[in-house]
Amino acid sequence: MQYNPASRVAEEFINDEEIQATLRYADEHKSDRELIEKLIEQAAAFKGLSHREAAVLLACDQADLNEKIFATAKKVKEHIYGNRIVLFAPLYLSNYCVNTCTYCPYHAKNKHIVRKKLTQEQIEREVIALQDMGHKRLLLEAGEHPRYNPIEYILECIHTIYSIKHKNGAIRRVNINIAATTVENYRKLHEAGIGTYQLFQETYNKKEYELLHPKGPKSDYAYHTEAMDRAQEGGIDDVGLGVLFGLSLYRYDFVGLLMHAEHLEAVWSVGPHTISVPRICPADDVDPSTFSNAVPDDLFLKIVALIRLAVPYTGMIISTRESARVRGKCLEMGVSQISGGSRTSVGGYVIEEEKEENSAQFETSDRRTLDEVVKWLLDGGYLPSWCTACYRAGRTGDRFMSLAKTGEIATYCQANALMTLKEYCEDYARPATREAARHVIEAELPKIPHEKIRKASVIRLQKIEEGERDFRF
């Protein structure tokens, strides 16, 4: 197989020989100070890094240059994303699954876990609970099961979620993380109004992938790896990549992930909208030997910093799998979206609490409520945001990326973050959070770069206080 980033064949755009050659090249240059300095400068100018360049920085064994990599990632993060952090929550719809992924407790052979699928009435209760916390963005998750979770079920759930209006609450953007599917089904998801379609590769190493997915539709490496191209064909132009760090060798997966981003850019002229960085963690009925490649915290942070440098305009997401401490560090290095107050079980926001049944996919390390996370962000100098404006204004795919690359998007992001934080304060925040937010809003308002939008924001903030909602730029 020949390496070709513009090919539609999985093993050509994620090419094993190219990855092996990249890793050899990185090893040969891991102490090449001149090259490493040059690459850091290139990244500091927001020019990104190729998979080969980023691999050299990952291999870099010079302590002072590694410090420089972290410092540069912080600068790039601040320049492009400011101090804004977008908040979302996962919603698990069903844990029925026909796959046998060895690292996931939902695998078909697990007989201990309670299997559940939410009815539309249960979804309504879960969504009301999420709205009452203040969430506006959801990420739907479901196992793969043609009988229990067909596409019609997912579409019905999306429709239900968008239709629920409780007090001032509303879910304004539904992102989806479901199994690889057909162009036709992606088109249906697009027509149902989803935001981003996420699908994690888990590992890009084909041999490892096949060992980790012995049976079920997900065992087809090519079908899984080519899914984002089918999603694009179906009209979904915001797609989210990710690998489960620690499953296979992190260097291989890091290079594969960036090659996948380059492939999307080469074929669809727009790279991934987001990259998620889940790290494997213990779970029910999962063999601990699966974790033999576990990635320690300092290395994980370096991976986050280098993704920030390699694809500066791609949002980065971290879940509550990680502790508050690691999440805090990741926010500095490049993460722009985090979940808050998450439950990783089916019915976890209302139903499960009542019955005390465990159907969780993984343990959450960060167990704070959304309001605690918001207060923590505010105290740390961040600006929490529930903004959903781009997707609702049709600023997706390359339309979004061109605004992001010229920096124009920052005006919208800043104003919308302030609008949504004000709404949160009026409707959901505890008094201490409200007070902290008041100071942050005052300090952040003058930072809206565009005068007209700044003035309009002042008026809209007042209107929110008077009871109006859902302003967006």
Residues near ligand SF4 (CB under 6 A) are 86, 97, 99, 101, 104, 106-107, 143-144, 179, 218, 385, 387-390, 409, 412-413, 416
Q: Do 440 and 356 meet the contact criterion of CB atoms below 8 Å apart?
A: no
Q: Do 85 and 331 meet the contact criterion of CB atoms below 8 Å apart?
A: yes
List C-alpha distances in Å: 115 to 28, 90, 236, 340: 50, 18, 30, 24
Q: How far is the CB of 421 from ligand SF4 (least distance, A)?
A: 12
User: Which stretches does DSSP call E strand in 302-446?
Assistant: 315-318, 337-339, 383-385
Nearer to ligand SF4, 48 or 105 (CB): 105
Is 28 strand, coil or helix? Answer: helix
Q: How far is the CB of 120 from ligand SF4 (least distance, A)?
A: 21
Q: How far is the CB of 411 from ligand SF4 (least distance, A)?
A: 9
List C-alpha distances in Å: 95 to 87, 91, 145: 24, 11, 9
Q: How far is the CB of 163 from ligand SF4 (least distance, A)?
A: 22
Is 93 strand, coil or helix? Answer: strand
Nearer to ligand SF4, 5 or 242 (CB): 242
Nearer to ligand SF4, 15 or 396 (CB): 396
Q: How far is the CB of 332 from ligand SF4 (least distance, A)?
A: 19
Distance from C-alpha of 261 to C-alpha of 255, rounded to nearest angstrom: 10
369: left (phi over 0), alpha (psi -120 to 50) or beta: beta
Nearer to ligand SF4, 51 or 218 (CB): 218
Distance from C-alpha of 400 to C-alpha of 273, rounded to nearest angstrom: 9
Q: Do 342 and 320 meet the contact criterion of CB atoms below 8 Å apart?
A: yes
Q: Do 325 and 301 meet the contact criterion of CB atoms below 8 Å apart?
A: no
Nearer to ligand SF4, 128 or 453 (CB): 453
- Report the 10 Å Cβ neighbour count for 142: 25
Nearer to ligand SF4, 55 or 331 (CB): 331
Inter-axis angle of helices 63-81 and 297-310, nearest 10: 50
User: Which stretches does DSSP call E strand in 44-167?
Assistant: 84-94, 137-142
Give alpha helix (H) positions in 428-465.
431-444, 451-465
Nearer to ligand SF4, 30 or 392 (CB): 392
Nearer to ligand SF4, 316 or 387 (CB): 387
Q: How far is the CB of 3 from ligand SF4 (least distance, A)?
A: 28
Q: How far is the CB of 224 from ligand SF4 (least distance, A)?
A: 10
Q: How far is the CB of 189 from ligand SF4 (least distance, A)?
A: 17
Nearer to ligand SF4, 68 or 135 (CB): 135
Q: How far is Cα of residue 85 from the mean position of the Cα atoms in its chain?
A: 12
Q: How far is the CB of 385 from ligand SF4 (least distance, A)?
A: 6
- Report the 10 Å Cβ neighbour count for 12: 16
List C-alpha distances in Å: 299 to 246, 288, 406: 11, 20, 31
- By C-alpha distance, which of 237, 216, 341, 321 is closest to 276? 321
Nearer to ligand SF4, 54 or 97 (CB): 97
Q: How far is the CB of 105 from ligand SF4 (least distance, A)?
A: 7
Nearer to ligand SF4, 143 or 256 (CB): 143
Q: How far is the CB of 389 from ligand SF4 (least distance, A)?
A: 4
